[in-house]
Amino acid sequence: MTENDRRLIKPLEDQNIYVHDTCSLNVQFQGDAPDVKWYKNGQEIYPSQKYRLVQHGNEQTLLIDDCQLIHDQAYYSLRL
């Protein structure tokens, strides 16, 4: 499968999360999921206790633990 064949079949969706919940942002690709980088307000997100990056089959997921209104309300995106 070429890079051009990797189509996003389930894009990111807006979510409403309660304080202290874990937020799960996931996307799904046609075929195996490519390596992606996640961003919060344009700044790259790195794995930590707060952020977990999970790839499984054709899905990529960003998990945000212990969500806080002030700290975590943001624009999240990903890039190949």
Which pLDDT tens digit goes with each residue over 20-64? 999 999 999 998 888 899 999 999 999 999 999 999 999 999 999
Q: What pLDDT, on the 0 to 100 scale, is given for residue 3?
A: 55
Q: What pLDDT, on the 0 to 100 scale, is given for residue 33?
A: 83
CA 50 – CA 52 distance, rounded (Å) = 7
Q: What pLDDT, on the 0 to 100 scale, is given for residue 19?
A: 95
Query: Which tokens is 44 given?
Result: 């790259």
* Cβ-contact 37, 79 below 8 angstroms: yes
Look at the chain and report how many structural domains it folds into. Answer: 1
pTM: 0.88
Q: In which domain, by residue range, is 50 found?
A: 3-79
CA 6 – CA 72 distance, rounded (Å) = 29
State pLDDT tens for residues 1-29: 455 557 889 999 999 999 999 999 999 99
Looking at residue 34, which CATH number applies to its domain? 2.60.40.10
CA 15 – CA 4 distance, rounded (Å) = 29
